[in-house]
Amino acid sequence: MAEYLQVATATETRDDAVKLAQSVVAARLAAGAQIVGPVVSVFWHQGAFGTGEEWQLLFKTRADRYAALEAHLLDHHPWKNPEVSAVPLTGAAGYLRWIDNTTGKDAD
């Protein structure tokens, strides 16, 4: 059985999040994306402490698609050094089959 991941990133605006999610899902690098926001982030960036609002994106994919998904996010993200992180994903058999079918080589 394939391994599955939930991959996260964030953008400054809702429009950027929607555009990025559409490009990833259209390329079948993830079966789906959820956009959550705005969320408040507290962070260190370039030596400065800050807070701000962001739109979080959560992608559902297979582990063997991660490298291509990461490359796509880094190439298409509006930020120079965005968060791209992944955590293992487990779920119901039908849900995982949907991920397989949507991101597989034979996906329609």
* Predicted TM-score (pTM) of this structure: 0.91
* 103 lies in some domain: no
pLDDT in tens, 20-42: 999 999 999 999 999 999 999 99
* 23 lies in some domain: yes
* 9 lies in some domain: yes
Closest CA to 28 of 65, 1, 58, 3: 65
* 47 lies in some domain: yes
Closest CA to 19 of 33, 40, 38, 8: 33
* 102 lies in some domain: no
Instruction: Flag whether pLDDT at 108 surpasses 70.
Output: no
* 106 lies in some domain: no
Angle between helices 14-26 and 66-76 (to 10 degrees): 140
Query: Domain holding 65: CATH number?
Result: 3.30.70.120
β-bridge mates for residue 67, sequence order: none
* 81 lies in some domain: yes
Q: Considering its fold, how many domains does the chain have in total? A: 1
Provide the pLDDT for residue 45.
86
* 32 lies in some domain: yes
pLDDT in tens, 54-81: 999 999 999 999 999 999 999 999 999 9
Cis-peptide, bond into residue 88, ω within 30° of zero? no
Domain hosting 50: range is 4-97
- Quote the mean pLDDT of the chain: 94
